[in-house]
Amino acid sequence: MKKITYKLIIAITLIFVMAIGACKKSFLDKQPQGSTNETTLATKSGVNGLLMGAYNYLGNGWLFNADFLFAEIPTDDANFGSYGSASIGMECFTFDASSTFFAGKWPVLYYGVQRANDVIRVLAKVPEGAMTADEILQVKAEATFLRAYYHLQLAMIYEHVPYVDETVSFENGNYDVTNTDPIWPKIEADFQFAADNLSPTKPDAGRANSWAAKSFLAKIFMFEHEFTKAQTLLADIIANGETANGKPYGLCDKYEDNFDPATRNNQESVFAIQCSVHDGAGGDNGNSKNGLAYTGPYGGPIATYGWLQPAQSLANSYKTDETTGLPLIYTWNDNNIKSDLLVLSDEPFTPETGTLDPRIDWTIGRRGIPFLDWGIHPGNNWVPSQIVSGPYCMIKSVAPQREPDATEGYSKAINEVLIRFADVLLWAAEVEVEIGSLSKAEMYVNMIRARAANPAGFVHTYIDPNDPLKGFTNTPAANYKIGLYNGEFTANGQAFARDAVRFERKIETAMENRRWFDLQRWDHKAGEPASGYMADVINASLDHEINHVPGFLFEGRDQYLSGHKFVKGKNEIFPIPQGEIDASTTKDGPTLTQNPGY
């Protein structure tokens, strides 16, 4: 397979310009019809077209480099709903630097970096008067925001990566960039520039505004453990932030509204990958582009590829105390909620009757519970489905049946929300635990829990189970009980409050491509050695799935999972693709250095 390096990416967009410039004959100086170069792009419409091209790679993590492969599959929350050494290797950490997944993600993100840099380079060549000073500043700030985002993804996945700005080019001959210099300060500087210069609203809901940039800057501070900086910034975002389409930030009334195409770009959406179908692109603008179309049920009420499947450990996390409705922060995995693993759908089965957080049934599809408006989840109605993926399936990437215009093939018009206001509140709770007020941290967590406790937002039974499109009753579909904290943070101290905030984030944002990177930043400050927290969490989950979920080691999974574990000091980040290291070789050797342990 041909390797595409970041150096080659830098070169591609300028080759045609150099070819034109090399011709000396006057008749060759004429611009061919239908062609484009930097001169023709140096206009208001040209740079805005380039900017839209830079946005395109937000959603271009298709299939083999989809975000869930890195952010969910290797965590305690999920299993790979397939089998084979390559796929299950992501669960049990038997992958290496030759993996297709890592080789695929790297060039996609550097394509995004290059497109953002193209905007900034061409913008500098726009003739005076063709754009106002503010228009130029807004385009540059958006491009800088996108460059920061793509570099952030690279840093979270690989940690040691080259930072490439607009001065690095094939033409300048300076593209042999190493990956040994710290990248986090440079990403922070880019987000700071965007935050300082972007306008608070934009003509399109999906474009970056100043508040989105500030929210990503806060995310950087969380990785850097700069909690004082984060505290000030997050307080401003909570008090004054607004969406690009001018809605003051706030939580949706119902949790489900974050995952419904009919309610996208709402007040909780800080920044999202925009997805659409039936727009003439054959589904290519839907969320198949970032792999989400491959994460729905494998079997069950509707069939998709089913690559991302919730783990038993995640399902257990939604158990609550029968009296208080609070989560079982330290004992959630002592016993499993009831599942139909390897119980055929024509055999009797009664779902879990204990008290549960209502968010479970907007996150995890399970037998006997309404699956959106598609019908009661039938469980093991197709024998291979559970043999391959277990008893649970993903819901958040599935569009309701009532919205046929939201689906085209496996593609869905469901935005992938990269930051929502719930993230901001939970980050604020984290920093209050570390340097502020435990009671204030509890207040932020209770805001999240109060929304989840809204009975209107529960999953309810069908009016007619044989015709789910007739709607729902007011009867909850399970024994939901969720309560608010009442002074427990202060009474039990900082360690308890920290654990409570982290647990709340786990159950609030499960299966939204957050978990791996949360564990990563809780483990250690960016650029510093691992503490072992991440290894302990993931290895405990592997042990639970292997040894405490009867029937889990099915269809040869035991040969991949048994005896393997997360290695502290190695697996907190993924390997630099070996093909990229090989292709970076100069007369002095490779410019890229492999991550430790690979």
Give the Cβ contact number of residue 436 at 10 Å. Answer: 17
Q: What is the pLDDT of residues 476-498, one digit of tens each?
A: 999 999 999 999 999 999 999 99
- Which of these, 270, 271, 228, lies nearest to 251 by C-alpha position? 270
CATH class belonging to 6-198+574-590: mainly alpha
Supply the pLDDT for residue 62: 61
403 exposure class (CB count in 10 Å sphere: 0-12, 13-18, 19+) = middle
Q: What is the pLDDT of residues 275-333, one digit of tens each?
A: 988 888 777 788 765 666 667 777 677 877 778 889 999 999 999 999 999 999 999 99
Residue 434 has pLDDT above 50, yes or no: yes
Q: What is the pLDDT of residues 366-393, one digit of tens each?
A: 999 999 999 999 887 665 557 666 789 8
Comparing 228 with 61, which gets the higher pLDDT?
Answer: 228
Residue 18 has pLDDT above 50, yes or no: no
Q: What is the rounded distance in angstroms from the CA atom of residue 567 to the CA atom of residue 526?
A: 18
CA distances from 136 to 46, 119, 126, 187 (A): 12, 11, 9, 21
Give the pLDDT mean for 179-201: 97
Supply the pLDDT for residue 81: 78
Q: What is the pLDDT of residues 108-117, one digit of tens each?
A: 999 999 999 9
Listed in sequence order, the residues at least 6 apart from 236 whose beta carbon sits closer than 8 Å to its beta carbon are: 214
Three-class DSSP category at 572? coil
DSSP assignment, residue 339? -
Q: What is the rounded distance in angstroms from the CA atom of residue 509 to the CA atom of residue 284?
A: 26
Q: What is the pLDDT of residues 504-549, one digit of tens each?
A: 999 999 999 999 999 999 999 999 999 999 999 999 998 898 888 8
Supply the pLDDT for residue 27: 34
Supply the pLDDT for residue 26: 42
278 exposure class (CB count in 10 Å sphere: 0-12, 13-18, 19+) = middle
Supply the pLDDT for residue 387: 66
| pTM greater than 0.85 | yes
Q: What is the rounded distance in angstroms from the CA atom of residue 514 to the CA atom of residue 501?
A: 14
